[in-house]
Structure 1
Amino acid sequence: MATRKSIFITGGASGIGRAIALRFAREGWFIGLGDVNEGGMRETEALIGNGFTYAHVFDVRDREAWDVALEAFSMAAGGRIDVMANNAGIPLGGSLEENSVEEIERCLDINLKGAFFGAQAVMPHLMKTAPGSCLLNTASAAGLYGTGGASVYSATKFGVRALTESLDAEWAEHGIEVRSLMPSFIDTPLLDHSPNAKANEQIRQRVKDGGLEITPVEEVGEAAWRAVHGKELHVKVGKTAKSMAFAARWMPGRVRKMSRDNSRPLGR
């Protein structure tokens, strides 16, 4: 088994996945990238620039493809996977009645089913490098309290939160750590998308109109490093996420009122 530690990151072509890759590459880790966007992964590799990278094109909705991707990365990394960042995800906003069946199924399949498939597939690899290996799931501040105008997305992130907590219990006996990242709105290309097919407004503009904070993506990379090497189960990223976590615990009535007052769905 190689001595250089390795991390495999889905959604590694841009945004949070790229930020995690750059942060761990700075520490000398071997970086694995998984995404459907081959060009974006090549750009991430170029930014890392040290040659200790491996990119694999696959769809996280395909369970068999997970096995192929992780086995190929393990071989490239010298037989070890120390961390897997279950990060691939897509946004979906708008009221529930605005969301099409296709949009709902795609968001559930990528954000939630993909995370479960990834956890299931990577467990044998993480057992080889335990104790101290880690599954890092990207959840969201939307997994702290349901967000009006993003019910499907919120449901997927509550699911990722539940997956994290469940596997934290299940895998403790194997010495595998399980963590989640809970970022608020992060400055990534996803903010420049429309929240759904019927909307003509970018998510970024809706966030700005709401006076909400947009956190630099580099902060998520730093949070990922802290999560893997710390003890906190759910690592909140950005002022909005930290404030929401505090309020949801100590002032649930106020959070409910704010949610209702601000429930104009994204894209309206």
Structure 2
Amino acid sequence: MNVTLPEKNKLKKKQIIIYTSIIIVCIICLVTAFYVQFYARISFSELLGISEKKQFGNKTEEEIEELKSDFNKVFINNIEEDNGDNDNKKSDKNQKLVYTQYEKKESNTNNYDLEIHIPHINIKSEIVDEYNKEIEDIFVNKARNVLQSENKNIIYTVEYVANVQDDILSLMIRSNLKEGVSAQRIIIQTYNYDLRNNKEINLEEVLKIKNIDKSELQGKITDSIKTEQKKVEDLEKLGYNVYSRDVSNDMYKIENSKEFYLTNDTLYIIYAYGNDNFTSEIDLIVI
């Protein structure tokens, strides 16, 4: 016996297609949301194109010059962005991801003037352990030596700033040393750590994440160093003794540029010549 279902209980072919399409769209949305949350370095609002546009590579010359002139102001001896999402990675849950471990201000007539704010990276990682050891070796040990000095008229300061953006922890430390009649020396060390993949991140990787064209940036670096060297040559003709740049040096290649600091909308690439020489000269590339 044949049974005919009432028309109202039948699903038309068109309805089946619509319902199937809705289910497929929902699955795609869920997969996309999962990927963005756990793998992509963009927010969901950015993916939809409704977030505020980042300014990497879009700054005017005036904005770049302003950021360069305000560079000294970025060292606030604190972490700028730390929303607590990385508490599970911390060695000490009661501290920030980066915190001031050594802090001292002391003056001793004819001996030294010292003001230090030396950070500690609060992450459980062998790589970070090496970072913290290097910070101790470079900055803490020097401070101890200064405090033990006599009749050297030493001025020594250490300051820092840190930031977390796109699961990248970026830390920049600057020290300023003036010892008697010796030349002033500025050291800038940076540490950049991929919190998502628990590894050190280099400049080339950051450029890919931020969609910054490598060859275009390399040209900008080269042009900037050439401009600074031209200024040096002009001053040398006037009899000044100024730190000279070797434009052909491989240190200016992006793959060899180790010191950089990342914020939510700015990338600083730093060539601090005092890291290897007794000089306070710095070249700053701002993106």
TM-score (norm 2): 0.24
Q: Which one has the largest radius of gyration?
A: 2
Q: Flag the structure with more relative contact order, 1 or 2, with Cα contacts below 8 A and sequence separation at least 6.
A: 1
Q: Flag the structure with higher helix content.
A: 1
Larger fraction in strand? 2
